[in-house]
Amino acid sequence: MKYTKRNVLRTAVGAAATITLAISMVGCAGSGGGSEGGDQTFTILQYENPETAQGQGWQLALELFKEKHPDVKVDYQTTSFDAMRQNAKITLTGNDVPDVIEFNKGNADGGQLAGQGLLAPLTDAVEEYGWDEKITGGMQAFAKYDEQGLAGSGDWYGIPNIGEYVMFYYNKELFAQAGITQEPTTLEEFESAMDKLLAAGITPISSSAATSQGFNQMWVWYSLVSAAADRESIDDFMFLREPVDFADSPWGPAAERFQEWIDKGYVGTELGGLNFEQATVNFLSGEKAMLIWNQGEFTRIREQADFPWGYFTLPGANMQMGSSGHLWGVPANAKNKELAYDWIDITLSEEVQNKIGQLGGLPLAGDASTIEDDVTRRFTERFNELVDADTLSFYPDYPVAGFLDFIQSGMQAMSNGNMTAEEWTADLQEFYDDGRDVALAG
């Protein structure tokens, strides 16, 4: 079927409709108010996997919170990223809302929630607890939103407690089989290594392009954009500062290179039905040489990979995908705001942050020198280098409403051979410009 924006909209609306009832029930399952017996109930709604470094850190935070508030009943609820992102407005509307939630950053998600008054401003709490001393520099960019819901300035509405950056995990045994003895240091060397892998009958990159959670292809494409970008071009795109010409560099050439990678087989075939979990499983099974992902799979790969592995950021790139992590926010109608502030503060505590760091979770307020494992410490230090150099390019779905669904549909279309790089950049231009106009009009 020919790819059109109408198909994207129909797909997005249909997906949202199928999970609206489920997330509505989650949002109403635990009230922020007291129960009949007079016991106070504090409701947390989050979507991290409990096996991840962040999830394990929050389990420690939960223990500390309960110790500090023994008379409070804690209702710790878990949903999915997609469900929360697509139905956050429903979850936060009315009086029966969670007391603290995890939500996605960016104009398309957090900005809309802030601009529509569904989240409480946190600026006073930030000053009271000193969170701005722990979350600094570029890590503050998507914590703040103005009256129009645009990121980068205004009040604080969200608090991150980890950072993120995207890399290529790789199977050292498969690299050796293909005659690759050293990690590539330039983009040309990287492509040469992938050619060697293909010649040895090995798929270079384990990827995915499903329209629901098929994030890998989007990250490959945006990594190529980031490779030739600079701070100004990324910030113009991300914060809607100046118009963007997607036919121009870095966008147009990156799309062409991305199409070449697809055509050459660098990312495999039949990706349209695969999601990121399947891409990860294919890498861990030893079938594919590399996996593009962020720190979210670091602990899992370290524990489950039965082959020697390593990682590197895209070689020779000017900038790398990454940003602050997802945000804690307090619904405007939450009944236990002070407890919510206390919960956020505990997740930023030295004890919780250093536990997240030990597990490879890239804490924003942790001490890398306390990390005992050499691989994990170097992994964290690399993130700190990117933050200090201000070379993180964030994630591409942040600027305008509906962008994630649109991009994923475009990635699927390109991966299936139903759309060219030129068609992709033209559609991207139209969708982004329309969204930008709406956002700036308030």
Indicate the pTM of the whole model.
0.82
Task: Please report, for residues 106, 128, 136, 391, the alpha-carbon distance to residue 133 in angstroms, rounded to integers and kept in the order given.
Answer: 22, 11, 6, 21
**Are 279 and 218 contained in the same domain?**
yes
pLDDT per position as a tens digit, 332-346: 999 999 999 999 999
Please check whether residues 238 and 301 belong to one and the same domain.
yes
For 112-127, how does the pLDDT look when each residue is reduced to its tens digit (9 = 90+)?
A: 999 999 999 999 999 9
Number of domains, the chain: 2
CA dist 202 to 209, 212, 267, 363, Å?
19, 26, 11, 35
Q: Is the same domain home to 34 and 63? A: yes
Q: Over range 218-228, report the average pLDDT.
A: 98
Residue 248 is classified by DSSP as S
pLDDT in tens, 383-439: 999 999 999 999 999 999 899 999 999 999 999 999 999 999 999 999 999 999 999
Q: Pick from 55, 391, 384, 317: which is nearest to 168 by CA? A: 317
What is the number of alpha carbons within 13 Å of residue 274 lying toward its C-beta?
A: 23
The two beta strands, 144-145 and 155-156, are antiparallel
Q: CA 101, CA 87: separation in Å to the nearest integer?
A: 13
Q: Confidence class of residue 86 from pLDDT cuts 50, 70 and 90? A: confident
Q: What is the mean pLDDT of residues 301-314?
A: 95
Same-domain pairing of 255 and 136: no
Domain presence at residue 395: no
282 and 337 both lie in a single domain: no
Shared domain check, 316 and 176: yes
Looking at residue 240, what is its pLDDT? 95
Q: Is residue 1 part of a domain?
A: no
3-state secondary structure of 320: strand
Q: How confident is the model at residue 19 (pLDDT cuts 50, 70, 90)?
A: very low
Task: Give the residue from 385, 412, 427 where a domain finishes.
Answer: 385
Backbone angles phi, psi at 285, to 5 degrees: -75, -10
Q: Is the pLDDT of residue 30 over 60?
A: no
The residue among 248, 257, 249 whose CA lies nearest residue 190 is 257
User: H helices within 130-204, ranges in order?
Assistant: 172-177, 187-199
> Do 185 and 232 reside in the same domain of the chain?
yes
Over residues 78-89, the mean pLDDT reads 91
Residues 273 and 177 in one domain: yes
Alpha carbon dihedral 381, 386, 387, 389, in 10-degree steps, equals: 120
For residue 177, with 0-12 CB atoms within 10 Å meaning exposed, 13-18 middle and 19 or more buried, which class applies? middle
pLDDT band of residue 296 (cuts 50, 70, 90) is confident
Q: 38 and 136 share a domain?
A: yes
9 lies in some domain: no
The residues near 349 (Cβ < 8 Å, ≥ 6 apart) are: 61, 64
251: domain range? 167-320+400-441
Specify if 136 maps to a domain: yes
Model confidence pLDDT, tens digit, residues 236-287: 999 999 999 999 999 999 999 999 999 999 999 999 999 999 999 999 999 9
Whether 363 and 430 share a structural domain = no
Instruction: Give domain status of residue 45, yes or no.
Output: yes
Give 142-172 pLDDT, tens digit per residue.
Answer: 999 999 999 999 999 999 999 999 999 999 9
Q: Give percent of the chain above pLDDT 90.
A: 84
CA angle 238, 207, 308 (to 5 degrees): 110
